[in-house]
A and B are shown apart, each in its own frame.
Chain A
Amino acid sequence: MNVIACIKRVPDVSEVDVEIEPSGKEIKKERLTFIINECDNYSLEEAIRIKERFGGSVTAITVGSREDEEILRRALAMGADKAIRVDFDLKGDSYTIARVLSEVIRGEKYDLIFFGALSGDFGCGQVGAYVAKILGINCVTFVKRIEYLSGFIKAYRELEGGLEEAYDVKLPAVVTIQTGINEPRYVSIMGIRRARAREIKVLTLQDLGLKDIDIAPKVKLERLYLPPPVKAAELIAGTLEEIAMKLVALLKGKGVI
């Protein structure tokens, strides 16, 4: 089976303060570290496992800048056969990205196209479904488990509260992958370094025959801003011992201990 995995590089903001650029359209990126979007890592792993089991190829594609090639090298180190980057600075929305990706995918062989269920930065959950519509193929979203059968897959979609629903889906199909579907393999820094020697195919919008009008965004980002400080938690501070003591007193006061 030939699998395409569309992957995105996102900033890891879980332990840092985020600041907004004066333009109000972007966050300050200089001091942030970047990672592969969490669900995209699971989808890459899933793609590579399919290749290992059934043969075929894995192609990783990202739309982005030169720095974003880092995740493509990671994909190659994990076991992808081919890596493609569309050189585009991401001024656009999910629709724009989907149009660009669709054009790249049209030129490739595929049985399955994997996306992450959501991107960790903007969390739109749109790109995969849009690509399926543009290419006119089946789509199944939020998938937590897949069984591979001949000509079709059994896909288990995740619903709320731990409930799942199962579908038989004819191939080719777009599948958007949810975290936890597998255990992504460890990729060493050395492995990623070695992948530097491998080719990353770089395409421009021109190469794809796309004009600005074809990929004009459907929605307009007006401004980014920080959420207002709302009724925040009452903070407990001090030395380690003081903090523990205050917590014990609090738990006693509330009748927990």
Chain B
Amino acid sequence: MSVLIVAEHRKGEIRDVTFELLSKGREIVKAMGGDLYAVILGKDVMKLAKSIAEFADKIFVIEDERVENNAEAYVRVLKRLVERISPKLIIMANSSFGLDIAPCLAMELDIPLITDCVGLKFSDDKLIATKSIYGGKVLADYLFDYGKTYFVTLRVGEFKVTYEKGRGEIEVLPSIVKEEVVNKRFIGFIEPEKGEVDITAADIIISIGRGIKEKGNIKITEELANTLGGVLACSRPIVDYNWLPKDRQVGSSGKIVKPKLYLALGISGAFQHIIGMKDSSLIIAINKDPMAPIFRVAHYGVVGDLLKIVPELTRMIKESKGIK
């Protein structure tokens, strides 16, 4: 029973999640027997292949610049490889890239796909994939029936990296793409704009979420931030609403921060947010909902109304600092 992981890379670098995929893949082949395969596709990928080969039993290298940033061509090449090596399980990252490729590949191969898995294990020869749904409040076990190739994407940042080694063979394969695939044409990357405030450099972050309810309420948190000498950051919806600029967003599609204090106000704790702040030294969360997933990563929590607590807290900090 072999497992195939699809290595993710961007702009000439392996993405960290690739090591998560290799680690989970290794765990499964150790339990079930079989080889751990990796595949890397794109332009000038040999160097990248060499840097991760030791963690797989074999890595397939398919050099073709036409698959780079071209999902259609990428899927064609990947499909041919899967047909050739018939892995029992294919693993990709549940990233923006993974979710662009995986459903198309699953349809092409006519195999079942479970995206965004937070757990993956075999029991009685059956693969059970666990998803975290309803904003992290419920877990769901899914079953693949035995006999087919299974396909999953793994939640990024969810699985531990173990760096266990394999045989490390490298096999170069030709690309099957004959001509340019042009229905969708890659134009280029657009870097995020540099804003006026760099929240990644801040020691104290006061971060607000949808619990702030109205734009007008932001000023009470701003005052708290000023009193503490910190900066204001936020969850994604606050940026989507244009209440704060994009450079203030914490999370997978925003910034990764590690301040001394992260005060999460009215943030539920979706994994895309958690991934951006979980390594902060001190996390305090204020949320009305005692079941909010943010309380799983926070060191201290207050179940209550931020609109009441924040002004009171600001007042007392001022008092303790002797500010009127």
A residues apposed to B, CB below 8 Å: 11, 13-18, 20, 27, 94-95, 120-126, 129-130, 132-134, 138-142, 154, 156-170, 179-180, 183, 218-227, 230-237, 240-241, 243-245, 247-248, 250-252, 254, 256-257
Give the distance to chain A from B133, nearest Cβ to Cβ, in Å. Answer: 5
Which residues of B45-72 are within 8 A (CB) of A? Answer: 69, 71
Q: Knowing A14-B268, A218-B112 are in contact, say whether A163-B190 is a contact too (CB < 8 A).
A: yes
- Is the beta-carbon distance between B138 and A18 smaller than 8 angstroms? yes
With A133-B103, A233-B283, A254-B260 given, can you name 16 additional A-B contacts, CB distance below 8 Å?
A14-B289, A125-B94, A159-B96, A163-B191, A165-B187, A168-B187, A169-B183, A179-B237, A221-B142, A222-B143, A240-B304, A243-B312, A244-B315, A247-B316, A248-B317, A254-B261
Return the contact of B303 from the options A154, A179, A221, A237 (Cβ within 8 A).
A237
- Is the beta-carbon distance between B103 and A256 smaller than 8 angstroms? no
- Is the beta-carbon distance between B316 and A165 smaller than 8 angstroms? no
Alpha-carbon separation in the docked complex, A160 to B261 (Å):
24
- Is the beta-carbon distance between B114 and A219 smaller than 8 angstroms? yes
- Is the beta-carbon distance between B184 and A140 smaller than 8 angstroms? yes
Q: Is B86 interfacial (CB-CB < 8 Å)?
A: no
Alpha-carbon separation in the docked complex, A156 to B184 (Å):
12
Q: Quick one: which of A125, A160, A231, A257 has the most chain B CB within 10 A?
A: A160
- Is the beta-carbon distance between B261 and A251 smaller than 8 angstroms? yes
- Is the beta-carbon distance between B183 and A138 smaller than 8 angstroms? yes
Interface residues of B, count at CB 8 A: 91
Which of chain A's residues have a CB closer than 8 A to the CB of B210? 14
Q: Knowing A14-B210, A158-B96, A248-B316 are in contact, say whether A256-B144 is a contact too (CB < 8 A).
A: no
Alpha-carbon separation in the docked complex, A219 to B133 (Å):
16
- Is the beta-carbon distance between B140 and A224 smaller than 8 angstroms? yes
Which residues of B179-195 are within 8 A (CB) of A? Answer: 183-192
Alpha-carbon separation in the docked complex, A80 to B187 (Å):
32
Report the stretch among B20-28, B33-41, B251-259 that lies at the interface. Answer: B251-259
Alpha-carbon separation in the docked complex, A95 to B254 (Å):
31
- Is the beta-carbon distance between B255 and A161 smaller than 8 angstroms? yes
- Is the beta-carbon distance between B190 and A166 smaller than 8 angstroms? yes
What per-residue 1/0 map shows which CB atoms of B115-156 lie under 8 Å from chain A? 110000000000010011111111111111100000000001
Alpha-carbon separation in the docked complex, A138 to B183 (Å):
7
- Is the beta-carbon distance between A161 and B304 smaller than 8 angstroms? no
Which of chain A's residues have a CB closer than 8 A to the CB of B268? 14
Q: Is B9 interfacial (CB-CB < 8 Å)?
A: no
Q: Knowing A164-B189, A166-B188 are in contact, say whether A247-B139 is a contact too (CB < 8 A).
A: no
Report the stretch among B158-166, B214-222, B290-298 that lies at the interface. Answer: B290-298
Give the distance to chain A from B277, nearest Cβ to Cβ, in Å. Answer: 14
Alpha-carbon separation in the docked complex, A157 to B253 (Å):
12
Q: Is B168 interfacial (CB-CB < 8 Å)?
A: no
- Is the beta-carbon distance between A124 and B100 smaller than 8 angstroms? no
Which of chain A's residues have a CB closer than 8 A to the CB of B285? 233
Instruction: Give the A-B contact count at a CB cut-off of 8 A.
Output: 239
- Is the beta-carbon distance between B103 and A126 smaller than 8 angstroms? yes
Which of chain A's residues have a CB closer than 8 A to the CB of B308? 240
Q: Is B113 interfacial (CB-CB < 8 Å)?
A: yes
Which of chain B's residues have a CB closer than 8 A to the CB of A120? 135
Alpha-carbon separation in the docked complex, A237 to B308 (Å):
14
Give the distance to chain A from B21, nearest Cβ to Cβ, in Å. Answer: 15
Which of chain A's residues have a CB closer than 8 A to the CB of B190? 156, 163-166
Give the distance to chain A from B181, nearest Cβ to Cβ, in Å. Answer: 11
Q: Knowing A120-B135, A123-B116, A162-B246 are in contact, say whether A251-B187 is a contact too (CB < 8 A).
A: no
Which of chain B's residues have a CB closer than 8 A to the CB of A20? 138
Alpha-carbon separation in the docked complex, A132 to B253 (Å):
25
Q: Quick one: which of A17, A132, A233 has the most chain B CB within 10 A?
A: A233
Q: Knowing A134-B107, A138-B184, A142-B100 are in contact, say whether A183-B116 is a contact too (CB < 8 A).
A: no
Which of chain A's residues have a CB closer than 8 A to the CB of B253? 158-162
Which of chain B's residues have a CB closer than 8 A to the CB of A15? 288-289
Which of chain B's residues have a CB closer than 8 A to the CB of A218? 111-113
What per-residue 1/0 map shows which CB atoms of B290-324 lie under 8 Å from chain A? 01000110111111100011001101110011000
Q: Is B282 interfacial (CB-CB < 8 Å)?
A: yes
- Is the beta-carbon distance between A227 and B139 smaller than 8 angstroms? yes
- Is the beta-carbon distance between B139 and A163 smaller than 8 angstroms? no
Give the distance to chain A from B157, nearest Cβ to Cβ, in Å. Answer: 11
- Is the beta-carbon distance between B317 and A180 smaller than 8 angstroms? no
> In the complex, which residue of chain B has the Cβ closest to the Cβ of A252?
B320
- Is the beta-carbon distance between B282 and A232 smaller than 8 angstroms? no
- Is the beta-carbon distance between B295 and A223 smaller than 8 angstroms? no
Give the distance to chain B from A169, nearest Cβ to Cβ, in Å. Answer: 5
Return the contact of A232 from the options B103, B260, B296 (Cβ within 8 A).
B296
Return the contact of A251 from the options B137, B301, B309, B317 (Cβ within 8 A).
B317
- Is the beta-carbon distance between B136 and A247 smaller than 8 angstroms? no
Which of chain A's residues have a CB closer than 8 A to the CB of B284? 247, 250
Give the distance to chain B from A23, nearest Cβ to Cβ, in Å. Answer: 13
Give the distance to chain A from B284, nearest Cβ to Cβ, in Å. Answer: 7
Which of chain A's residues have a CB closer than 8 A to the CB of B113? 126, 218-219
Alpha-carbon separation in the docked complex, A181 to B32 (Å):
45
Give the distance to chain A from B35, nearest Cβ to Cβ, in Å. Answer: 25
Give the distance to chain B from A113, nearest Cβ to Cβ, in Å. Answer: 15
Give the distance to chain A from B301, nearest Cβ to Cβ, in Å. Answer: 3
Alpha-carbon separation in the docked complex, A220 to B148 (Å):
14
